[in-house]
Amino acid sequence: MREKPILVTKSTLPPIDEFMEMLQPIWDSAWLTNMGEYHKRLEYELLRYLDVEKIVLFTNGHLALEFVFQAMQLSGEVITTPFSFVSTTHAIVRNNLTPVFCDIRADDYTMNAAHIESLITEKTAAILPVHVYGNLCDVEEIERIAKKYNLKVIYDAAHTFGETYKGVGVGNFGDASMFSFHATKVFHTIEGGAITTSDEKLRLHLDYLKNFGIADQETTLYVGGNAKMNEFQAVMGLCNLRHLEENIQKRKELCAYYREKLDNIAGIVLNTYREDVTYNYAYMPVRILEKQCGFTRDMLFTALCKRNIIARKYFYPCINELDCYKHTFDACLTPTASEISRQIITLPIYPDLEKSVIDEIVDVIRELGKR
Ligand SMILES: *Cc1c(COP(=O)(O)O)cnc(C)c1O
């Protein structure tokens, strides 16, 4: 048995010399945060990398999402998905808005746009879909509905850093998109996040909000908070950006290796990849259909744990089944999300994952199937 566990992901780190070299200017200037030189440089590089018009950096992705709702000054209901990380719904609730859960599609786990119109009421203010595991939402249909009912669209794009759809950066869809640069994401700044938008007013509003609503020394325009990205975070981001393409390429190869090995096993449903999307391969989700393969997701999870391979039941439970929400919402209204959350497992994937670990995982799956 291996001593160190294999976790579902492992944070990428740049060569330590690259990071250290960039620290000297911080010591020289003694400028540690509050939109310093590295913050500006990272903003500039991310604008180009994500191919978006405007960007606002934050200390994490969750606060970025909270602030974008505050900036839009919405009230009422927000249609969202229960198949996501809790942050998505928390951002709505913490802004005194009411989440309305829309079920997901079984093929790519994103919000089922065909259900949205039936959930719209007089109180609906916005739609908050999630590009789950890097799978793009039905952005065209969501845009059509949003225009028809005059709703804002904010995408949780935490899983889609650097992806494009039909050659367009994913941060260009909707009124705004949130990216997370958490340590576990494909691109990270230790903790960090951003909002991308084409709306200059929104950009400026967010710039103020993340710094207490302060516009200049004598002017405070809004009741803001504090969610600024500091210079050390920005340095980590600038270093990581240099190695990103190479890391995504490695992830792509590992994903292909998994797919080749798992392709012909009954009851194992792999993620579908579309021709018109460039992916970042952040996750390796697999659905386990008990009837066809003879074992459950939980049995696989446990069998892997015995080998010290810690996969994740991500996302399980669904958000509307979590303790803090289950008494307020009825998960029976989103049956596909509930079912898939019981079948899904995300397997380890990160740039330096050894292929022998994938072989081992595939062996575990084959062994379970034989019983
Ligand atoms: C990571 C993540 C977030 C939160 O981002 P943080 O930077 O950790 O605050 C929100 N939504 C989804 C789908 C995520 O995966």
Q: Is the pLDDT of residue 209 over 80?
A: yes
CA dihedral sign of residues 209, 156, 342, 278 = negative
CB-based pocket (< 6 A), ligand 1 = 60-62, 84-85, 87-88, 130, 156, 158-159, 180, 182, 193
Q: What pLDDT digit, counting tens, does each position of 136-186 carry?
A: 999 999 999 999 999 999 999 999 999 999 999 999 999 999 999 999 999
Contacts with 107 (C-beta within 8 Å, 6 or more apart), sequence order: 272
Contact 129, 111 (CB under 8 A): yes
Instruction: Give, using CA atoms, the residue closest to atom 14 of ligand 1.
Output: 158
What percentage of residues in the chain have a pLDDT greater than 90? 98
SS3 327: coil
Ligand 1: distance of its center to the CA of 179 in Å? Answer: 8
Helices first, then strands: H and E counts in the chain:
13, 17
User: For position 2, what pLDDT does the model report?
Assistant: 84
For residue 3, name the pLDDT band (cuts at 50, 70, 90): confident
Examine the pLDDT at 1 and tell me if it is beyond 80: no
Tell me the pLDDT tens digit for each residue of 104-140: 999 999 999 999 999 999 999 999 999 999 999 999 9
Q: 3-state DSSP helix/strand/coil percent for the chain, to nearest 5?
A: 40, 15, 40
Across the range 1-15, mean pLDDT stands at 94
Q: How many whole angstroms from 63 Cα to the centroid of ligand 1?
A: 10
For the CA of 61, the nearest atom of ligand 1:
7
pLDDT at position 202 over 90: yes
Residue 370's pLDDT is: 86
- Rounded to the nearest whole angstrom, what is the distance from the C-alpha of residue 219 to the centroid of ligand 1? 32
Question: Which atom of ligand 1 lies nearest, measured to the CA of 185?
Answer: 1
Whether the model pTM is above 0.85: yes
- At 36, the pLDDT band (50, 70, 90 cuts) reads very high
CA end-to-end span of the chain: 22
Q: How far is CA 108 from CA 152, 251, 285, in A?
A: 23, 19, 10
Over 90: is that where the pLDDT of 95 sits?
Answer: yes
